[in-house]
């Protein structure tokens, strides 16, 4: 038979299913105190019959707490010490595991900058005398010949008669249009009216002839693109090629930048974009490579999935692929510097440019 109240409490606790951690700890503590005494199965059953102790699956946590608090003779200090020792052991084991996982060794070494000396050459050239000379650097005489030919073809296909325009008339037409864009009269016919007449425009061609050319002007008279041509700007591609050819001819500067540009346009075009944060929110998005002097050195129009980026760089994403495309005209292994914002910045892009001897600077947002 049990010889103390601790022995009697142990008999009750051993009958509790050890489903709760607190019950396991209580049983372990009492077993350590009375390990010198062993009870038979008959003695345990006799005590259970005499006791009013009961516990169910739903009340085992509350009952175990009440039984433990009712024992005034249980040495609580020894039990607390055993629990704290167990917790300390667990914390030490966890600390050792964490230490093994986070064994990072940092070394302090002086920063060694690579060779960033620019080995190229840049000559901006002699300043141009007039704006007209600057304009004809981009639009060569051949482009006006093409305008005249394609406009004649389109008018003949549409009306069945000839419009009979020439290269010289096309030059006058574009000159009058550029002058109108600077004067900005509210109506085009005002340039020919008596009170608001502008001789530099009105003396070049009659108003009806101007509107006839303006309505039928074409650089490509084809009605459908060639088979396999996915360029969404195929109708005006000769003009874009003429401007880009001049941009590629310009000397490359040591410091360049790649960024987006919005070309204001509210007409009908499949790639028209609306970006409210831009100074010109509605228009055509254009990726441009510019030099430190502000001159455009290369560009690529945004066409969605049809944007003309190389197939071998598509895995880098649109932004990185555009940068690689625009830097193809920059000499290799000359330490040219390219700057771009977070839209283009990425480790794979920086590594790709570094392999070509082009240094890059980009900014990155936090937590990205």
* Nearest alpha-carbon partner for 52 in 42, 43, 63, 41: 63
Length of the chain: 368
Beta bridge partners, 261, equal: 286
Query: Is the domain 253-362 a CATH 3.30.420 member?
Result: yes
* pLDDT for 39: 58
* pLDDT for 76: 47
CB 331 within 8 A of CB 317: no
* Nearest alpha-carbon partner for 325 in 348, 349, 292: 349
Kindly give, in sequence order, each residue whose CB lies less than 8 Å from that of residue 50, ignoring residues fewer than 6 positions away: none
Beta bridge partners, 288, equal: 259, 299
- Output the pTM of the full model: 0.66
Beta bridge partners, 103, equal: none
Give the count of beta carbons closer than 10 Å to the beta carbon of residue 13.
20
Q: Return the domain boundaries, the chain.
A: 5-89, 131-216, 253-362
Helix (H, G, I), strand (E, B) or coil at 95: helix
* Nearest alpha-carbon partner for 188 in 163, 169, 215: 215
CB 254 within 8 A of CB 118: yes
Which residue ranges in the chain fall short of pLDDT 70?
A: 1-102, 306, 367-368
Helix (H, G, I), strand (E, B) or coil at 147: helix
User: In what helix (H) or strand (E) does residue 148 lie, and over which residues does it extend?
Assistant: helix 141-159
The DSSP-derived string for 98-112 is HHHHT----------
What pLDDT digit, counting tens, does each position of 32-60 carry?
Answer: 555 555 556 566 556 555 544 444 444 44
* pLDDT for 286: 93
Determine the Cα–Cα distance for residues 33 and 191; give it in Å rounded to an integer: 113
Determine the Cα–Cα distance for residues 170 and 66; give it in Å rounded to an integer: 103
* pLDDT for 14: 47
Angle at 248 between CA 244 and CA 254, to 5 degrees: 135
């Amino acid at each position: 038979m049990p010889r103390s109240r601790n022995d009697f409490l142990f008999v009750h606790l051993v009958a509790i299913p050890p489903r709760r951690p607190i019950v396991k700890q209580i049983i372990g503590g009492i077993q350590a105190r009375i390990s010198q005494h062993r009870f038979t199965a008959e003695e345990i059953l006799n005590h259970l019959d005499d006791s009013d102790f009961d516990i169910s699956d739903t009340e085992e946590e509350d009952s175990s707490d009440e039984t433990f608090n009712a024992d005034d003779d249980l040495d609580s200090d020894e039990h607390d010490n055993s629990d704290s020792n167990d917790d300390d052991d667990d914390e030490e084991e966890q600390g050792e595991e964490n230490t093994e996982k986070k064994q990072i060794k940092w070394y302090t070494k002086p920063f060694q900058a690579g060779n960033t000396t620019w080995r190229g050459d840049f000559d901006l050239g002699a300043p141009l005398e007039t704006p007209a000379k600057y304009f004809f650097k981009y639009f060569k005489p051949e482009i006006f010949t093409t305008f005249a030919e394609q406009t004649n073809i389109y008018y003949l296909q549409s009306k069945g008669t000839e419009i009979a325009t020439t290269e010289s008339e096309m030059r006058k037409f574009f000159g009058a249009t550029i002058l109108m864009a600077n004067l900005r009269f509210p109506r085009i016919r005002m340039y020919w009216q008596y009170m608001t007449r502008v001789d530099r425009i009105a003396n070049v061609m009659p108003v009806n002839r101007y509107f006839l050319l303006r309505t039928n002007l074409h650089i490509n008279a084809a009605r459908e693109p060639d088979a396999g041509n996915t360029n969404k700007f195929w109708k005006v591609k000769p003009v874009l090629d003429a401007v880009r050819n001049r941009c590629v001819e310009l000397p490359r500067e040591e410091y360049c930048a790649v960024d987006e540009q919005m070309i204001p346009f509210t007409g009908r075009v499949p790639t028209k974009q609306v970006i409210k944060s831009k100074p010109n929110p509605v228009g055509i998005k254009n990726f441009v490579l510019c030099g430190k002097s502000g001159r455009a050195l290369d560009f690529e129009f945004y066409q969605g999935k049809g944007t003309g980026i190389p197939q071998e760089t598509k895995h880098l994403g649109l932004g990185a692929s555009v940068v690689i495309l625009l830097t193809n005209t920059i000499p290799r292994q000359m330490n040219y510097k390219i700057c771009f914002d977070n839209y283009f910045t990425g480790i794979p892009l920086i590594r790709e440019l570094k392999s070509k001897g082009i240094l890059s600077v980009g900014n990155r947002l936090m937590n990205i």
